[in-house]
A = this chain, B = another copy of it.
Amino acid sequence: MMTKEALTALILEKKAALSLTWEAIAAGMSLSPVFAVSACLGMNSLKEEPAQKLVTLLDLPAEAKTILMACPTKVWDKAIPTDPLIYRFYEVIGVYGPTIKSLIHEKFGDGIMSAIDFSMHIDKEENPAGDRVVVTMNGKFLPYKSW
């Protein structure tokens, strides 16, 4: 059986061969781009319907559907990312982590933002002084409970 890594490589090849954007692939799966890409990169599992749509859209082999639906083991190699684009987000968490913590506690009480009941969008804000990346994270607040 193909691994998730092998399937990702195949998806990237098909995407290139068909000259499809991630936006188009996500639309074809009826999913938002962030979630669709994360599943294609092997970091999320798909429900049956979008899995089937992706298989059809990219003409993937039949077993791909099962692999796309399997629960992934989420692994990253670099505890501190080296790629500058990803590192900047790491830096933001380092610099603003305690600030985020203080403000969430002030607004919501003791608890955390879920990274599971969670969604993210990436948008482009056109700006004459230089376009801007807008990242929106939306996660359920999970209060600590005592027992």
How many copies the complex holds: the figure is 10
Please classify how large the interface on chain A is, using the bins under 10, 10 to 19, 20 to 34, 35 or more: 35 or more
Contacting pair B114 A85 (CB below 8 A): no
In the complex, A120→B93 CA distance in Å?
11
Contacts of A85 in B (CB 8 A): 100-101, 104-105, 111-113
| Interface of A: prevailing SS | mixed
Contacts of A39 in B (CB 8 A): 146
In the complex, A101→B73 CA distance in Å?
9
Contacting pair A93 B100 (CB below 8 A): no
List residues of chain A with CB under 8 Å of any chain B CB: 1, 12-13, 16, 21-23, 31-35, 37-39, 41, 43-47, 50, 66, 71, 73-76, 78-120, 122, 124-125, 127, 129-147
